[in-house]
Amino acid sequence: MSTSPAKMSLTGIKPTGEPHLGNYIGAIKPALKLAEEYEAMYFIADYHALITVRDPQLLRHYTRSVAASWIAAGLDPDRVVFYRQSDIPEIFELTWILSCMTGKGLMNRAHAYKAARDRNQEAGKADLDAGINMGLYNYPVLMAVDILIMSTDVVPVGRDQMQHVEIAADIAGSFNHVYGDNFKFKVPQAIVPEAETGHTLPGVDGRKMSKSYDNTIPLFCSESQLKKLVRRIPTDSTPVEEPKDADSSNVFQILERFAPAETAAETRRRLQAGGMGWGELKNQLFDVLNTQLSPLRERYNALMAPDSELDALLTAGAEKARKRAVPVLDQVRKAIGIK
């Protein structure tokens, strides 16, 4: 058996909305699977959300809701480290330090900032920086700190976040170049979890399930809402007795991702043989989803109660995370001449 410590993976979750089935299949499940292979850490990037969420009630709600969602979906806070970014004050001190090591030009080239300027240009605004706050501009530095302060080996991300991890590696390189004799940050690497490369889940209008299309099935919606949303998924007018192609059915595509393999195979056969109508298929999808999601929904609702153990779990997680962060900041301070 190898005695070298397991590599560490860090997943950051921005609390800006409620998760849906597409997030569950495409992001949450693959990220949770990493705990089998890595020493896994997960955190809620609540200070990242402040860039866009300006309603204090809502920010508080999203933060708790995202935490409850991940635990309900299977994150075990005893086995992994799970914390809130805002509970780690060391992150914000290191953010200033690394801002001083980060070229402004590097930030000018960051995708999210460039996209915001492009939107201003398209809208015909004279000032391309209109409406852009320094939080958005500095976002990559804060994210770099999230990663570097935990001595992260790998960062599982979607394609849109790849550049941010490269920037984190760049910033680590700049620091190491100057102060490397005294302290060196571990240089992180981005990885794209498996499900990301597979096909996506259709939403209730047949397009990709996405918050921006307003076509999602929320992961923890009530049973009656689940039934209503499943009914809304579009189907064609093929009569009950005629054979149907499972692969071109949105309803079947969702079923296939949630039902046991034999159940899905049997349903595929029945659709192809004719005699199974879309109504029956929808009933089956509802049953499969409801059976799988009921226990998760219950756990989620219990955690969302105001006096649940959720806050204590996050506080305990923060303590574990700070054990990693404090010595790193300490060494950095010494290396730069502050202590």
Binding residues for ligand TRP, rule: CB under 6 A, are 10, 12, 14, 45, 48, 143, 146-147, 155, 157, 161, 164
State the burial class of residue 79 (Cβ atoms within 10 Å of its Cβ: 0-12, 13-18, 19+): exposed
Write the CA distances from 8 to 1, 15, 280, 325, integer angstroms. Answer: 18, 22, 46, 14
Closer by beta carbon to ligand TRP, 14 or else 20:
14
* 103 labeled part of a ligand binding site: no
State the minimum distance, in angstroms, from the CB of residue 217 to ligand TRP.
Answer: 21
State the minimum distance, in angstroms, from the CB of residue 72 to ligand TRP.
Answer: 20
* 131 labeled part of a ligand binding site: no
Closer by beta carbon to ligand TRP, 89 or else 180:
89
* Residue 218 DSSP symbol: B
Amino acid at 54: R
Which string of DSSP letters, residue by residue, matches 138-190? HHHHHHHHHHHTTT-SEEE--GGGHHHHHHHHHHHHHHHHHHTTT--PPPPEE
* 104 labeled part of a ligand binding site: no
Q: Which of 255, 288, 316, 333 is nearest to 94 (CA)?
A: 333
* 124 labeled part of a ligand binding site: no
Residue nearest to ligand TRP (CB): 12
Closer by beta carbon to ligand TRP, 155 or else 264:
155
State the minimum distance, in angstroms, from the CB of residue 168 to ligand TRP.
Answer: 8
Do 289 and 55 touch, CB atoms closer than 8 A?
Answer: no
End-to-end, the C-alpha distance of the chain in Å comes to: 41
Closer by beta carbon to ligand TRP, 155 or else 172:
155
Residues contributing to the annotated binding site? 14-16, 22-23, 146, 158-160, 201, 208-212
Residues contributing to the annotated binding site for ATP? 14-16, 22-23, 158-160, 201, 208-212
